[in-house]
Amino acid sequence: MSYHPKSLPRHFPCPCQSKADDPAPYSACCQPWHAGIATGTFAPTPEILMRSRYSAYVVGDIAYLLATWHPSTAPGDLDLSPVKWIDLDVRHCEEAGDAGVVEFVARCRVNGRAQRMHEISRFVREEGRWYYIDGQMFEDD
C-alpha cells in the first residue's frame, strides 16, 4: 500500500520510526525532507536520508527517491511495485567525511507474503548534500 504524501492524515505516524518510543507524525519527521527538495533543504546525515528514503517508498514519493539518488547510479525512471512496508530497523550508521553507510532491515509484504530486505547502503556528500549511491543486499536473516 502506498499513500500520496499530500493525502496523508495530519497525524499519520512517520514510517521511518526514528522515534520508536514516541512516534513523530510524518508531517514533523520525513515530510519536511521530502518537501525540502524543492527549496534546497536536504537531509543532514546519511541515516536521516536513508530513513526519509524509506518513508518515500512507503508513501510513494518517486520524485524524492530519484532526487536523492546519486546521478552516477540513479535509474532513469522508477516504478514502485505494490509493496506494503511494515517496519524499519536501522542496525548501524557510520559517517566519515563525505562518505556514509547505513545498515538496515526493512520488513514488508509482497502479495501477502512477508519478506525482509537487509541492506548496507552507501552514501556520498557533494556540495553539502547527501546522496544514496547503492546498497549491498544480504540474505543471512
Percentage of the chain lying above the pLDDT 90 cut = 74
Position 10 scores a pLDDT of: 65
- State the CATH architecture for 5-138: Roll (3.10)
Cell reading at 7: 493525502
Give tens-digit pLDDT for 10-33: 678 899 987 666 778 998 999 999
Q: What is the pLDDT of residue 2?
A: 45
Q: What is the DSSP letter of 109?
A: E
Which one, of 125, 141, 119, 123, lies nearest residue 133 by Cα?
A: 123
Average pLDDT, the chain: 89
Closest CA relative to residue 18, chosen from 10, 30, 32, 9: 30
Helix (H), strand (E) at residue 26: none
At 9 the pLDDT is: 65
Q: Of 1-10, 82-91, 95-104, 114-123, which gets the smallest average pLDDT?
A: 1-10
Written as one string, the DSSP assignment of 47-74 is HHHHHHHHHHHHHT-HHHHHHTB-TTT-
The helix (H) or strand (E) run that includes residue 31 is helix 31-36
Domains of the chain, by residue range, sit at: 5-138
Contact indicator for 44, 100 with CB cutoff of 8 Å: no
40, three cell numbers? 534546497
Letter for the amino acid at 4?
Answer: H
